[in-house]
Structure 1
Amino acid sequence: MLVPFVPSPPEVIREMLRCAKVKNDDILLDLGCGDGRIIKIAKEEFYVREAIGVEIDKRLCREAKNDNVEVICGDMVTLSSILIPKVSVLTLYLSTRANEILEDIILKYGKKGLRISSHDFTFEKLRPTKEIKVKAMGLLGWTEHMIYCYEL
C-alpha cells in the first residue's frame, strides 16, 4: 500500500510520543516511517529500547537507516502481523484508508496494553483515549495537527 510521504514536524512527533507515554523500555514500531524522523526522535530523545520503522519506498528507506534504529524495507500490511505482536508502541501517519486496512491487524495481533499514536487519522473501531491539537510549522506554514492516542 502506497501512502504519500508527508513529514511530521518535530513538535508533532514529540507530542505523539508523549501521548503514547513512551518510556525507555518500550519497543516502538512506526509503520510507513518515511525518512525515519519518528523512530530517530523516539530513540535519541525518548531513549526507547528499540525503534523499528517499516517503509516501502527504497529511497526513503535508505534515508531512514542509521546506527540507532532498525528500518525494514517492505510492505507494512504484509509485515505488520509479524511486527505488531513484538512492540509496546505503534506510531502512524498514514491515511484513513491505510488505518482501515491496518485496524483489524492491530486488533488481532496487538498485545493488551499496546499504545498507539496516530497523526491526523483515526480508526473506526478503536476509540481514542486522548486527542491533542498541535500547531506546528510544516511544509505549508503553520498548520493545526491532530494526534489520536489509543490503548488496547
Structure 2
Amino acid sequence: MRIEPLVPWVPTPEEILDDIVELLEIDTKSVFIDLGAGDGRVAIAAAKRGAFSIALEIDIVNCIIARDRAKLENTLVDVIQGDFETFPLNRVNRVFMYLYSSIHDRLKSKMIKELPKGARIVTLDFPIPGWTPLKVKRCKTKSKTVRTLYLYIK
C-alpha cells in the first residue's frame, strides 16, 4: 500500500457541506465514501443525513483527527486508513472527491468498473476529465471565494 498522499490535504469549506450532501442526495439508503477524507468533515456531514459513511484517508494523523472529530460530533463514521486507488467501491453509491483532475482521471476506469449504476459522484473544484457533469453548482464561501461542485451520475 502506498503510504504517501498523492495530493496535499486542503479542507473542504464547512459552509458548502450542505451543498455537497444535497447534490449527492444523501439519505438512509446511501453508502457514502470520501476518497481522501482529511479530517472527515464531509463523511460526518453525510452520516448526519443518514448515510453509512466511510472516510478513506491514507494519512494516519488525519485518520486519528477524523475519528476524534466524528466522536466529538456524535456521528458514526467508518474511518479507514487506506489507498483510494485500491479500496473497493462496489458497495458504494455516493462518492465525494476533492482531488486534482489528474487523480480523477486515474480513478475513472475504477469508478466505471466498480461503482453501481446510478451512483452519484461529486467533485470539488476539479472536474473529471472527459466526463460531462449533470450539474455544476457554484458556492460562495465566507471568504467570498467561489467554489465549484460537479455532479456526475454513473
- What's the TM-score once normalised by structure 2's chain length? 0.88
Distance 1:127 1:113 in 2: 15
Computed over aligned residues only, the root mean square deviation of the Cα atoms, in angstroms, reads 1.2
Q: Is the 8 A contact 1:54 1:74 kept in 2?
A: yes
Alignment of 1:107 with 2:112, yes or no, is yes
Aligned equivalent of 1:72, options 61, 80, 102: 80
Q: Residue in 2 aligned with 1:18?
A: 22
| Unaligned residue ranges in structure 1 (runs of 5+) | none
Q: Is the 8 A contact 1:19 1:149 kept in 2?
A: yes
Q: Is the 8 A contact 1:32 1:92 kept in 2?
A: yes
Q: Residue in 2 aligned with 1:47?
A: 50
Q: Residue in 2 aligned with 1:98?
A: 103
Residues 125 and 107 of structure 1: is their aligned pair in 2 closer, same or farther, counting only changes over 3 Å?
farther
Larger RCO of the pair (alpha carbons < 8 Å, separation 6+): 1
Q: Which runs of 4+ in 1 moved over 6 A?
A: none
Distance 1:120 1:59 in 2: 25
The letter for the 2-side match of 1:26 is: S
Alignment of 1:38 with 2:42, yes or no, is yes
Q: Secondary structure at the match of 1:16?
A: helix
Q: Residue in 1 aligned with 2:58?
A: 56
Distance 1:12 1:93 in 2: 13
Q: How many residue pairs get matched?
A: 144
Q: Is the 8 A contact 1:2 1:56 kept in 2?
A: no
Of 104-113 and 59-68, the range deviating more from structure 2: 59-68
| Unaligned residue ranges in structure 2 (runs of 5+) | none
Matched-pair identity in %: 31
Q: Residue in 1 aligned with 2:122?
A: 117
- What's the TM-score once normalised by structure 1's chain length? 0.90
Q: Is the 8 A contact 1:28 1:87 kept in 2?
A: yes
